[in-house]
Amino acid sequence: MSSHAGFHVTKPGFFTLLQDAGRRGVMHMGLTSGGAMDRHAWAWANRLLGNRYGTPALEITFGGAAFTSGLNTQIVVTGAEVQLTVNGKPKPLWTTIRVNAGDSVSLSAPRAGVRSYFAVRGGFIVNTDLGNSCATVVREGTGGLHSNGQPLGQGDLIPCSDATPPAANRKIPSQWIPDYHEPLTLNVISCAQVDRFSEAVFETFFDNIYTLSPQADRMGARLTGPALEVADRTLISEGTSLGAIQVPADGQPIILLNDRQTIGGYPKLGAVTPRSLDALAQRPPGTQLRFREIPLPEAQQEERQFLAFFRTAGSV
């Protein structure tokens, strides 16, 4: 690999991170999973290029990023509705694009959605750490280009393979491209602590609209809406799961996300399903949303189908 085989960051944007499928088997060490917030968009970016599931890509929050290619390769940008240009010429999203050494690639601020995913043929070549992952977790100082948890900065060079032959040009079927403007309803499965909430609390939760607070990040999505009463306001701290809906003392629910703390002591009303978290990851503060309870087998089947589809992708 030559010293210039990669993408130079000419404009890092608001918050650009290297992300993969996240860390596994590390929570006992107090480390969170990290990983792509919108797995749907991230996984499609890699699949269109023939990359294996788990291949690192860039997660670009609120756009405004620019890169210069140091090699001839293919890229895909999925997720938020940004204006994607190569050398100033508009290019389609959710579609493989050929770029040459010296080409400039730019992403505007999004018209809809929050996070874009920038993948390259063969994947970015970066070091992995605990959990065999490069997932960037700023709070923990893990992962990323320099294995220190820092976002990408101007002047960084993100290496990638210059020996991978091009794949066939592909684009996603239109029915698989989400509409980030549509009303958002999140699917929820119940959890072991349902007995700590009254029937009236569940009626309040499922019958009302909640709003995504500006206090939302990769750790958790804070919501504002009708307060939820809970019998025991605190518990003995226990392990937390992705999507868990905590109810703190003020009664305003918090959905725990990829960079959550590994333990928590607030009662949990249920958990948002992984596929619904993909949709949540693309909604900005101020978004109104509802919740819908679904049975566990339905959520499990949805996840099995997702993984079965994307894990069949390989280098082609």
Q: Which tens digits make up the pLDDT trace of 43-56?
A: 999 999 999 999 99
The average pLDDT across 65-80 equals 97
Q: Work out the pLDDT band at 1, boundaries 50, 70, 90.
A: very low
Q: What pLDDT, on the 0 to 100 scale, is given for residue 2?
A: 43
Which of the residue ranges 109-118, 201-210, 236-245, 270-279 would you say has the lowest mean pLDDT? 236-245
CATH numbers and ranges of domains, the chain: 6-176 (no CATH), 184-310 (2.40.100.10)
Three-state SS for the chain is: CCCCCEEEEEECCCEEEEECCCCCCCHHHCCCCCCCCCHHHHHHHHHHCCCCCCCCEEEEECCCEEEEECCCEEEEEEECCCCEEECCEEECCCECEEECCCCEEEECCCCCCCEEEEEECCCECCCCECCCECCCECCCCECCCCCCCCCCCCCCEEEECCCCCCCCCCECCHHHCCCCCCCEEEEEEECCCHHHCCHHHHHHHHHCCEEEEEEECCCEEEEECCCCCCCCCCCCCEECCCCEEECCCCCCCEEECCCCCCEECCCEEEEECHHHHHHHCCCCCCCEEEEEECCHHHHHHHHHHHHHHHCCCCCC
- Model confidence, pTM: 0.94
Q: Which tens digits make up the pLDDT trace of 285-305?
A: 999 999 999 999 999 999 999
